[in-house]
A = this chain, B = another copy of it.
Amino acid sequence: MLGAGATAAAAAAMAHDGASGVEQGALPGTESHPFYGEHQAGISTPPQDHLVFTSFDVTARTPVELQLVLAKWSAAMAELTSGDPVGKVEPARANAVPGDTGEADGMGPNGLTLTLGFGPSLFDGRFGLEPFKPAGFGPLPAMAGESLDPAMTGGDLCIQACANDPQVAYHAVRNLARMARTSVKTRWTVLGFGRASAGANQSTPRNLMGFKDGTRNITTGEDFAQHVWVGDEAGQPWMAGGSYLVARKIHMMIETWDEDPINDQQSIFGRSKQEGAPLSGTREHDVPDFHAAAAGGDAPAIPADSHIALAAHENNGGTKILRRGYNFTDGLDAVGRLDAGLMFLSFQRDPEQFVSLQRRLGASDRLNEYIRHVGSGVFAVPGGLPAAGSYYGKEFFTK
Residues on A close to B: CB < 8 A? 1, 4-5, 7-13, 15-20, 22-31, 46-48, 89, 91, 94-98, 100-108, 110-111, 164-168, 170, 174, 178, 181, 185-186, 188-191, 193-194, 196-203, 205-211, 219, 254-255, 258-263, 265, 273-274, 327, 329-332, 336, 338, 340
Contact = CB atoms under 8 A, between A and B. Distances in A.
Number of copies: 2
Contact of A190 (B7, B203, B331): B331
A166 B97 CA distance: 34
10 contacts: A12-B31, A97-B260, A101-B210, A103-B206, A106-B200, A106-B201, A166-B166, A174-B338, A191-B331, A330-B331
B27 A9 contact: yes
Contacts of A219: 18
A32 to B, nearest CB: 11
Contacts of A259: 97
B330 A209 contact: no
Contacts of A91: 274
A336 to B, nearest CB: 6
A91 B98 CA distance: 58
Contact of A167 (B1, B196, B338): B196
A7 B20 CA distance: 17
Contacts of A207: 103
A254 B200 contact: no
A134 B280 CA distance: 59
Contacts of A104: 206
A343 B100 CA distance: 23
A301 to B, nearest CB: 14
A10 B16 contact: no
Nearest to A83: B199
Nearest to A164: B16
Given A8-B7, A16-B164, A186-B332, A29 B197 contact: yes
Contacts of A100: 210
A37 to B, nearest CB: 18
Contacts of A340: 170
Contact of A11 (B8, B201, B327, B338): B8
A364 B64 CA distance: 45
A12 to B, nearest CB: 5
A108 B201 CA distance: 9
Contacts of A209: 101-103
Contact of A331 (B96, B166, B185, B189): B189
Contacts of A261: 94-98
A332 B188 contact: yes
A67 B303 CA distance: 44
A260 B273 CA distance: 52
B200 A105 contact: no
Given A12-B12, A95-B261, A186-B338, 13 more contacts: A8-B27, A13-B31, A97-B262, A100-B210, A102-B210, A103-B327, A107-B197, A166-B166, A167-B196, A174-B338, A178-B255, A181-B255, A330-B331
B201 A16 contact: no
